[in-house]
Amino acid sequence: MATIPRGATVAVTGAAGFIGGWVVRFLLDKGYRVRACVRDIDDPDRTDFLRAMPGYASGRLSLHAADLDNAGCFDDIFRGCHGVCHVSHISGYDDVEYVRMVCDHIIDSVNKSETVNRVIVTSSIAAIITEGDINELVRRPVLYEDRSPDEDNPKRTPEKGHGYAIGKLLAQRSFADAAERSGRWDAITCCPADNVGPIQSPHQKDMGPWQHNIELMLLGAYEQTPAYRPWMTVDVRDTAACQIGLLESVDVQNGERYIAWSTDTRNVEDVCASIDRLLPELGHDTPEVTDPFPDRIKAREEELRGIWAGCELRNDRIRAVTSVTFRPLDDSIRDCIESLLTVAKVQPRRKPGFKPGS
Ligand SMILES: NC(=O)c1ccc[n+]([C@@H]2O[C@H](COP(=O)([O-])OP(=O)(O)OC[C@H]3O[C@@H](n4cnc5c(N)ncnc54)[C@H](OP(=O)(O)O)[C@@H]3O)[C@@H](O)[C@H]2O)c1
C-alpha cells in the first residue's frame, strides 16, 4: 500500500458533481492525469464545463461513461490508475443491500486494476453526527473522527430518515475491509460537512443541497434547517483539496476517516442575512425564515438550538495530514452567490425600489 506518485493517473467518480468537478480541476492543476467518470458523456449540460478545463484538449483529462449500478463498468477506466477519488452519490441510500452492491462494483474494479494504490471514499459528517436520539450529542458533544452515531438506537433506521448516514458508514467499512483483504491498496474516507462555494456549471445550482439553498435565499424563499441545526460548513474547493491531500498523504492508514470542515457554523437565518452584508451592491431583499416543522418540534426550538451550540467541531486530524487551510465561510458564501449569478444566471429578489448599479 502506498500513496500515489506525482503526475499519476487518477479516476474521479461523480466528476460532473459539485465536489467532483473541483476535484477534477485541482488534480489537473497539480499535474495529474484525470479520468472523469460521468453517467452520460453525451449530456452537454453536465459535461461541457469539464471539456472546457485545461487538460481536456491535450488529453490529460478524459471523460468516461460509467453508472455505479452496472458491475464491471469501471474495469477499463481504473486499469492504469494509481488513485481513485470516489466522489459520486449512488442511486439510493435506504437499501443496505444496494449500497453493498455498488460498493462491491467499485471494489471489484479496483482489485482487477492491479494498479490502484489508494481509494478516497467520500462519506459525510452525517456518519459522525446523525443520531437517533439528539441527546446523544449532549452526552458526546465533541465532533471528531472517532465519534460515530449510537448505532444501537432503535430509531436509527432508513424508515426514520437515517439511510444516508447508515449507508455512508457501511461504505467506509466495506472499502476498508476490502482493502485490508487485498493488501494491495488502501481506502481512506473523507467526511465533508455542508459544502458552500462556487458552482462551475449551471446544472450544479440544483444539486447540493447547500448551494441550492443559497439560490433559494437569493430568489426570496428559504426554510429552517431540520432540527434547527446550524450549517456546519466547508468550502467546496477545500473539500476537493482535502480529497487530494488524503490521496497524497504518507501519514494516513487504511480504514481511517477524516472530517473536512472549517469548523465554522452559522444559523440559516444568519447565512441568509450574510448575502446583503457581504454584497450590499446586490440590493438583496432578505426574506423571512419559513419554519415548516410541526408544533411539537417548534416547541423544542430553544432546546435544540442549545444542543447544537454545545457541540465542539474539530478538524485537528485533517490539518495534520494535509496542508489544507480552510477558507472562512464569508468567502464561500460570497463566491457561491457570484457563481450563481454569473454561471447559472440566477436573478435575485431585490429590495423594493432598488436599482442595480445605483
Ligand atoms: N454537497 C455536500 O454538501 C456534501 C456533504 C457531505 C457529503 N457529500 C458527499 O459528497 C459526494 C458528492 O456530493 P456532491 O454535492 O458533489 O453531489 P452532486 O453534485 O449531486 O454530484 C453527485 C454526482 O454523483 C453522480 N451519480 C449519482 N448516481 C450515480 C450512479 N448511480 N452512478 C454514477 N454516478 C452517479 C452524478 O453523476 P452524473 O452527473 O454523471 O449523473 C452526480 O454528478 C456524495 O457522495 C455526497 O454524499 C456531499
142-166 pLDDT, tens per residue? 999 999 999 999 999 998 889 999 9
Q: Is residue 110 part of a domain?
A: yes
> What's the domain count of the chain?
1
The answer to whether the CB of 243 is under 6 A from ligand 1 is no
Place of cell 479520468: 35
* pLDDT reading at 2 higher than 90: no
pTM for the model stands at 0.97
Q: Is residue 314 part of a domain?
A: yes
Best of 19, 93, 129, 190 to mutate for ligand 1, by most ligand atoms within 8 A of CB? 19
**pLDDT-derived band at 355, boundaries 50, 70, 90:** confident
> Regarding beta strands 33-38 and 194-196, do their DSSP bridges make them parallel or antiparallel, or are they unpaired?
unpaired
The answer to whether the CB of 74 is under 6 A from ligand 1 is no
CATH number at residue 317: 3.40.50.720
* pLDDT reading at 175 higher than 80: yes
The answer to whether the CB of 109 is under 6 A from ligand 1 is no
Atom of ligand 1 nearest to the CA of 88: 24
Q: Is residue 357 part of a domain?
A: no
d(CA 131, CA 125): 11
Residue 356 has a pLDDT of 77
Atom of ligand 1 nearest to the CA of 69: 31
* pLDDT reading at 234 higher than 80: yes
Please write the tens of the pLDDT for every residue from 87-96.
Answer: 999 989 999 9
| φ, ψ for residue 139, nearest 5 deg | -70, -40
Please write the tens of the pLDDT for every residue from 8-66.
Answer: 999 999 999 999 999 999 999 999 999 999 999 999 999 999 999 999 999 999 999 99
Residue 285 has a pLDDT of 94
The answer to whether the CB of 16 is under 6 A from ligand 1 is yes
Residue 358 has a pLDDT of 66
Q: Is residue 351 part of a domain?
A: no
Q: How much is the average pLDDT of 235-255?
A: 97
**Contact by Cβ (8 Å): 106, 32:** no
- Mean pLDDT for the chain? 95
Q: How much is the average pLDDT of 121-142?
A: 96
Q: Which domain holds residue 190?
A: 9-342
Q: Is residue 155 part of a domain?
A: yes
Residue 3 has a pLDDT of 83
Please write the tens of the pLDDT for every residue from 117-129.
Answer: 999 999 999 999 9
Residue 161 has a pLDDT of 87
Q: Is residue 355 part of a domain?
A: no
The answer to whether the CB of 56 is under 6 A from ligand 1 is no
| φ, ψ for residue 265, nearest 5 deg | -130, 155
Q: How much is the average pLDDT of 226-230?
A: 94
Closest C-alpha to 17, from 325, 240, 244, 261: 240
Q: Is residue 132 part of a domain?
A: yes
Q: How much is the average pLDDT of 188-214?
A: 96
Residue 318 has a pLDDT of 98
* pLDDT reading at 1 higher than 90: no
Please write the tens of the pLDDT for every residue from 75-87.
Answer: 999 999 999 999 9
Residue 153 has a pLDDT of 92
Q: How much is the average pLDDT of 91-118?
A: 96
d(CA 264, CA 104): 35
The answer to whether the CB of 67 is under 6 A from ligand 1 is yes
How much distance in Å is there from the Cα of 88 to the middle of ligand 1?
4
Q: Is residue 82 part of a domain?
A: yes
How much distance in Å is there from the Cα of 87 to the middle of ligand 1?
6
The answer to whether the CB of 19 is under 6 A from ligand 1 is yes
d(CA 229, CA 115): 42
